[in-house]
Structure 1
Amino acid sequence: MPASDLPVADDVAGLYVEHSTWLQGWLRRRIGDAFTAADVAQDTFLSLLDGKTATQEIREPRPFLATIANRLLAHRHRRQLLETAYLEAIAALPEEFAPSPETRLIAVQSLQEIDRVLDGLPSKVREAFLLAHLVELSYAEIAERLGVSASSVKQYLSRAHRECLFAISF
């Protein structure tokens, strides 16, 4: 770890010592599962290590940590819904067309990675991607909905496709 990251790690360690038990308890009461609560609490503190958050400037640590944990729970829930929808679609296929368990796992992991990438894109880029692929709108229809030009839609979709391709390339 570079020396410049040590203050961040020290700040996060301090937050962890002071608030991890509270956060796990809060999550356990909220979701009713001690194991998931522990995982989400751990992920909450790990997310602070990226150095993007000035941890020394946090005035109210518990609401701050709860906000991060809620966001992580929402992402976790969305990933589970995505996986469930895919597995239900696969279950509806005739057996001879059903992919192997290995292929299913790769597909679920790829869908989760695409979901993660889309979540990190600007809202108009993400919305253009979803409108194009889930609603199957044309560039002109997407442009009208988003209040942008068709060339902007083309740029948005190029960016989203590029990011998704990079994400799932092994």
Structure 2
Amino acid sequence: MTASSSAPADPVHALYVEHHGWLQHWLRRKLGNAFEASDIAHDTFVNVIVSGMAARIEQPRPFLVTVAKNLVIRHYRRRVLEQAYLDAVALLTEDLVPPPEERLIVLESLQAVDQVLDALAPKAREAFLLAHLEGLTYAAIAQRLGVSMTSVKRYLMQAHRQCFLLALA
């Protein structure tokens, strides 16, 4: 008996060998871009490794597709956010355009805030955006969301707590 046949197989390695090619092909068909498909397939397996769940996955392909879809959504949201920022910078006069290092820091910060907001419950996220982007009062937010002002306060506390934790990180 060889050493490789007596030792238990690494579940991540087995999952990768068995499904990476399939996942990359699936992503390439969905995205129409081999480079993005390769990056997202790679990131999918990195997420599996970090999660420590490889040995417990019962349905590998549906699991991998779910992880990959979430990464695709995150990728496109990041791209939209980046383009919106670049469009805003393009409207600035040359003397107000921040240097590239500053733009990178702003983009990374925007992406981090976007992830924090995405993790919030929908009404908490909406309350935060209404308060900070539209400048609505608690009463106006409560009316718009169809909730009490106490709920609005609770939603905003949740959102502010997450933003504060992000600032500490």
Q: TM-score range by the shorter chain?
A: 0.7 to 0.9
Count residues in correspondence.
162
Q: Please say if residues 114 and 168 of structure 1, whose CA atoms lie closer than 8 Å, have aligned partners that are also in contact.
A: no
Q: Please say if residues 15 and 54 of structure 2, whose CA atoms lie closer than 8 Å, have aligned partners that are also in contact.
A: no
The residue that corresponds to 1:42 in the other structure is 42
CA distance in 1, matches of 2:139, 2:54: 42
Give the share of equivalent positions with the same residue, in percent.
54
Q: Return the letter of the residue paired with 2:87.
A: E
The residue that corresponds to 1:73 in the other structure is 72
**Correspondence 1:133 to 2:135:** no
Cα distance, 1:16 vs structure 2: 1.5
Cα distance, 1:55 vs structure 2: 5.2
CA distance in 2, matches of 1:64, 1:166: 30
Q: Please say if residues 125 and 160 of structure 1, whose CA atoms lie closer than 8 Å, have aligned partners that are also in contact.
A: yes
The residue that corresponds to 1:116 in the other structure is 115
- Rg (Cα) greater in structure: 2
Q: Please say if residues 110 and 168 of structure 1, whose CA atoms lie closer than 8 Å, have aligned partners that are also in contact.
A: no
Cα distance, 1:109 vs structure 2: 0.5
Q: After the TM superposition, which parts of structure 1 deviate over 6 Å for at least 4 consecutive aligned residues?
A: none
Q: TM-score, normalised by structure 2?
A: 0.83
CA distance in 1, matches of 2:78, 2:163: 16
Query: What secondary structure, in the 3-state scheme, does the structure 2 residue paired with 1:38 have?
Result: helix
CA distance in 2, matches of 1:95, 1:122: 40
Q: Please say if residues 48 and 55 of structure 1, whose CA atoms lie closer than 8 Å, have aligned partners that are also in contact.
A: no
The residue that corresponds to 1:143 in the other structure is 142
**Cα distance change of structure 1 residues 57 and 21 upon mapping to structure 2, 3 Å threshold:** closer
Q: Return the letter of the residue paired with 2:15.
A: L
The 5 Å alignment of 1:15-26 reads 15-26=15-26
Cα distance, 1:157 vs structure 2: 1.5
CA distance in 2, matches of 1:148, 1:169: 31
